[in-house]
Each structure stands twice: as C-alpha cells, then as structure tokens.
Amino acid sequence: MQLHRPAVQRGVRAAVAAALAWQVAVLLPPLLSEYAYYAPLGAVIAVHPTIADSASAAWRSVLAILTGFGLAVALYEVTRVVPDALTIALIVAVAIAVEQLQLWREQASWVSFAAVLMITVGLDDPGAYVLRYAGLTLLGAAIGVLVTTVLFPPMQLTRAVEEIATARSQLAAHLEEIAGTLREGRVPDPAEWSGRATVLDRTLDRMRAAEAQVERARRANPRAPRWQGRAAGIREESRAVDRVAVLVDDLTSLVVELQPHRRGIDRVEAGAGWVLADALAGLAGVVRTPYHSTDGTTPDRRDERIAGAEAALDRLVTLLRTTQPADEDGFFALGAVAVGVRRGLAALGAHRRQAQAA
C-alpha cells in the first residue's frame, strides 16, 4: 500500500475522522451520545480529495439534510387530512424538485433522503431528531474537514502527473502510428483514426480533470506554498499537452482526409510521405521526452529528440520550397501540417540548448 496514492490517503483520513467523530460523540450528553453513530456518517461525507471539496461537501450536506427535514415537517402539517401514502408521495416529489437547485451539487440526494427519514422515524419529536441527526452529522463533518486539513492535506499532484504522462504517451503513439502508416504507403482510414481520436479525447479529459483538481486542492491548503512551484509546473505542462493535442487533431485530419503527400508533390528523394512521416514522428519523440536530464553542458535525450524533430521539419519545409505543386489544395494542406508541427514544438518548449563551457 502506497501512502502517496490519493485513494489510500483518503481512506486513512476517512477512517481517522470517523473514529474521532465517534469518540467525541459518545462523550456528549445522553440526548446526543445515544445516537453517536450519526457523527461518523458526517465525517465520511466530508472527507474528499481536497480541502475545498471537503468543506463544500460538509456544509452542503448538512444544509440539504436540514432542508429535507423542514420540507417533511411542513408538508406533513398541511396534509394531515390525507392518507399517509399520499403525504409521503408529495414530500418525496417536492424534495426531488428542490434537489434540482444547483446549490446542492453532489449532495442533492440528501434532501429527499432526509425528508423520508423525518416522515418515517422522526415525527414523534421533530426538534430532538433534527438536533441528533443534523447536529451530530455537522459535528462529524467538521471533524472530517479538520482531519483533511491536518492529516497530509492532499495536493492531488500524483494523479495529475500520472494523467499527464498517460496523455503524453497516447498522443505520441497517435503520431507514431500515423507516421508508420505513411511510411508503409497505406491510405489512412478516416473511420479508424476517428475511433482512435475518441480514445485520446477521453484520456485528455481525465488529464484536464486532474489538473483542475490540483487547482482546487490549493485552496485553503497549508501545504500549498510548499508545493506551489510543482503545482504551477503541472498546470503549465497539462495545458501545453492540451494545446499540442488540438494541433495534432488538426494534423491528423489534414493527413487522413486530404492526403497531401499523394497530391502531385511526391517528386523528391524518399518521397513526400516519408518526409511527412519523419516530421510527425519527430514531434512524437519530443512529446515522449518532456524533461532534460542534464544541466545543459552536454546534450541529453531531449536535446537529441528536439534536434531530430527540427531536422525533419526542415526537410518538410525544403520540400515545400523546392517543389512546384500540381495540386494547390494538397500543397497548402502539407504547408499547414508543417506549421502545425512547428507550433507543436513551440508549445512544448522544444528549443535546443546551447552547450555551456565547462
């Protein structure tokens, strides 16, 4: 079990918060301590991946519970003359309608849940039931937020780093596969590449969600100043990958739909298809190698990938400059690919470093 994993950390926090909430609740006066089990419930409700999410879940849940109790009592009083079944139906219908308010977010279902609880088990003494259930849930929720804040408050960096790495890997594989198709002289199938693009889009969505969660995790987090630089780096890297993904989507569409390498300009050594493939594969190599491993005094793997990508792009530009196009649409499409590759390298900060004097 790895303690740095978000799921493991949340499990530990929830367990500690529930135990503390129970221990505090059993020390309260008998009116409350007899129902101490409501406190751990509130603690678990409030333990979320970020401090901001924990606080939000805590107050929204308790407010939803109180709203549900209030609706149940009010509607019961005005429908005493109708059968109980109709009263319950009305309460549930109204509670679900109230749940549609954006105020509740993920805690919306507590409105109808609390309303049914009140109408079925709390009407003998509504005031005492509200105090026990809502009061102890609030106590537990406060303890849950406190534990989330104090016990290794999460920054969600690990998941974001993993999602960015996955997105990079899939994006590079996407480019390498289409480059391989071009080298084999095959005609790319639009349906096949559309399906692959859908898979990549899902990966990118997870990366964006993870990056957004890092931003939420920084709010009211005592660890935020310590990890501010790392969090900012994750944000910049995620957004750079996102920009490159948009460019790659355009490049893929141009190559798959217009096939510029087959439209009257394939008249240089090795062929336009190979030149285009090298440019796409060069960009893929830079996508796969996001970090330098040396201080710049000697070239590293990233420097080599950048140099290779730039050389491949230069060959593509030379092809465009020296070829008389027979098909302007194909020529302009190939030019757009060249521009897209250049912009992709720029978005990735792909610049060869000058070797420093020893």
Q: What is the mean pLDDT of residues 170-197?
A: 80
Please give the biggest Cα pair distance in the chain.
Answer: 93
Residue 2 C-alpha from the chain's centroid: 21
pLDDT surpasses 80 at 269: no
What would the pLDDT profile of 123-179 be if each residue is shown by its tens digit? 889 999 999 999 999 999 999 999 988 876 666 677 888 899 999 999 999 899 888
Question: Of 88-102, 188-202, 306-320, where does mean pLDDT reach its minimum?
Answer: 188-202
Average pLDDT over all residues of the chain: 84
pLDDT digits (tens, 9 = 90+) for 23-36: 999 999 998 999 99
What is the number of alpha carbons within 13 Å of residue 277 lying toward its C-beta?
19
User: DSSP letters of 214-238?
Assistant: HHHHTTT-TTTTTTHHHHHHHHHHH
What pLDDT does 3 receive? Answer: 62
pLDDT at 270 > cutoff 60: no
Q: Name the band, by pLDDT with cuts 50, 70 and 90, for residue 188.
A: low
- 217 is written with which tokens? 């995790």
pLDDT bracket for residue 358 (50, 70, 90): very low
pTM above 0.85, yes or no: no
189 pLDDT higher than 80: no
Q: What is the pLDDT of residue 357?
A: 38
Q: Is the pLDDT of residue 228 over 80?
A: no
Rounded to whole angstroms, the Cα distance separating 285 from 305 reads: 6
| Pair of tokens at residue 65 | 């519970």
- 53-95 pLDDT per residue, tens: 888 899 999 999 999 999 999 999 998 888 889 999 999 999 9
Res 122 pLDDT > 50:
yes
Q: Which of 97-106, 262-271, 317-326 has the lowest mean pLDDT?
A: 262-271
